[in-house]
Chain A
Amino acid sequence: MSVAISVEGLTVRFGDVTALDNVGFSVEAGEFVAIIGPNGAGKSTLLDVLLGVQKMESGTVKVEGLDKVGYIPQRKDLDKRFPAKAIELVVCGAMGFWPLVKRKGFEERALRAMKRVGVDHCAEQQISTLSGGELQRVYLAKSLVRDPSLLILDEPAAGMDLAGEADMYHLLLDYQKDYGATVVMITHDWEGARVHADKVLLLNKKVIAFGDAKDVMDEARLLHLFHHRGHVGESHDKEHYHD
């Protein structure tokens, strides 16, 4: 298998604060990687570096398929008062910029993507009226609409109920299988990561551990990572660990 993501000696600093310190790992094409770590661990910063929107102080980062990456940002970064229908957001994903007028071909493609993730019934709904889970699914449709070979997801299941989370994993796994796509996602769902991810990266400014999910996620390591806070092993204890 070819290497999709290669990171060596990555260091990022914001003034005097070190966000990432000598981080290194590599992801093979077609792998599903979950990134887990406490608040302020540098998870989102790492994604930003992979996406090419964050400068690094030192290190080497190579990412294949970045020109057509599927990306889901954190919901807090969006302007929720923006006047737009859900389908426009997905059309935007297909076109690469915000649509001024309706374009039939792109709309059909967007609707197919929305149907694939089960939100085609929300197509004409205002973004501001979507629930957290619906918005995440619309974003998933946006990220899949161009059939990317790389998906980078920042807490894609945030705001979803347990059934929604399970659905999200199945959709991602199906897509990964069908398209041979590489998936990198930040998650606070330890159990989900343990069951579904091929590899897990435990991060706290440095790489605490990286490898097969079942090997990496032992209780002692997670206790060390989260400094004994919360309840290790309870997979849905999100309230405590949101970034």
Chain B
Amino acid sequence: MIEPFQYEFMRNALIAGIVLSGFAACLGPFIVQRKMAFMGSGLAHAAFGGVALGLLIDFSPIITALFFTQLVAFLIVWLEHRSKLSSDTIIGVLFSTAMALGIIFLSMREEYGADAFSYLFGSVLTITFNDMPLQFFLLLMAGIVGSGYWHRWAYATFDRKSAEVELGKKVRSDDYALAFFIAFVTVFAIELIGVLLVSAFLVLPAAAARLVSRSFAQMTLLTFIISAISVVVGLISSYHLDAPSGPCIVLAQAGLFGACFSVGMRRG
């Protein structure tokens, strides 16, 4: 079972996956309860526009992706507060626009865009030992930001009106903080699992946890546990089946979702 983790690249992938699980626990329960499942996917596609811009101007694609997703995250919340459109419609408008821009940027490049497509699929196995300090810094940041905002995000998720009465304008600024944090995590996760699978990390473990949780705190903890187990199971199966690691992790998440669903059904 532990044979794959004799290799350094697998151990690095495991650490990166656990970091991502920490992020999933910080954000997933809010994404699921606030019906924002489309947001992770939307921001990931928006990030692709940023990656393409970085490749076009020969600048760090991750930094341009970070700028792009933060801008789109701001616009999603800003338009939601100021228009009659629902957030899923706004996300649809913005991510299509960002994706179209990404394709235009890629077409403007003289070189073939194979490097851009590596961002679509990502690979957790390419994480190196040198990336570890950054991983730990990010995990620490997730813990600080997540624990700082958790109480207020949770209150506003259950009963926005009462939260506004008690917390005032913080509730609106907290919406921006949540969107910025999701955008940040999305860009970080793209390097690991790619644009196409990033929303799975933000939605699947939390959705599975919701099926068996009796409190929101429990849902947060279970999201981390389910996500971390998926990383371990996904990496081991990826090694033995010689299959891509990202999809194996996501399929492990889907398997755990199925298990939680049957437990939830039995409990009634």
Interface pair A97/B157, CB less than 8 Å apart = no
Give Cα distance in the complex from A81 to B158, angstroms: 9
Closest to B153 in A: A98
- What is the CB-to-nearest-CB distance from B143 to chain A, in angstroms, rounded to a whole number? 13
Interface pair B162/A73, CB less than 8 Å apart = yes
Interface pair B216/A84, CB less than 8 Å apart = yes
Interface pair A83/B160, CB less than 8 Å apart = no
Interface pair A88/B215, CB less than 8 Å apart = yes
Q: A79 in the interface, Cβ–Cβ < 8 Å?
A: yes
Asked whether A82 and B217 contact (CB < 8 A) given A52-B165, A97-B167, the answer is no
Q: B110 in the interface, Cβ–Cβ < 8 Å?
A: no
Is the contact region of chain A dominated by helix, strand, or loop, or is it mixed? loop
Contacts of A88 in B (CB 8 A): 215-216
In which size bucket is the chain A interface?
20 to 34
CB proximity to A under 8 Å, residues B150-174? 150-152, 154-155, 157-162, 164-168
Interface pair A82/B167, CB less than 8 Å apart = no
CB proximity to B under 8 Å, residues A93-107? 95-101
CB proximity to B under 8 Å, residues A61-98? 69, 71, 73, 77-79, 81-85, 88-89, 92, 95-98
Interface pair B161/A77, CB less than 8 Å apart = yes
Interface pair B166/A99, CB less than 8 Å apart = no
Q: B238 in the interface, Cβ–Cβ < 8 Å?
A: no
Interface size on B, residues (CB 8 A): 27
Contacts of B161 in A (CB 8 A): 53, 73, 77
Give Cα distance in the complex from A81 to B32, angstroms: 11
Give Cα distance in the complex from A69 to B217, angstroms: 26
Interface pair A79/B216, CB less than 8 Å apart = no
Partner of A101, one of B33, B164, B165, B217: B217
Interface pair A83/B157, CB less than 8 Å apart = no
Partner of B216, one of A69, A77, A82, A96: A82
Q: B82 in the interface, Cβ–Cβ < 8 Å?
A: no
Interface pair A82/B158, CB less than 8 Å apart = yes
CB proximity to B under 8 Å, residues A153-212? none
9 contacts between A and B (CB under 8 A): A51-B165, A52-B168, A71-B165, A79-B159, A81-B33, A82-B157, A96-B166, A97-B154, A100-B150
Residues of B within 8 A of A (CB): 33, 147, 150-152, 154-155, 157-162, 164-168, 210, 213-220
- Give the 10 A-B CB pairs with smallest separation, nearest first: A98-B154, A97-B151, A98-B155, A82-B158, A73-B161, A83-B213, A53-B164, A77-B161, A51-B165, A98-B151
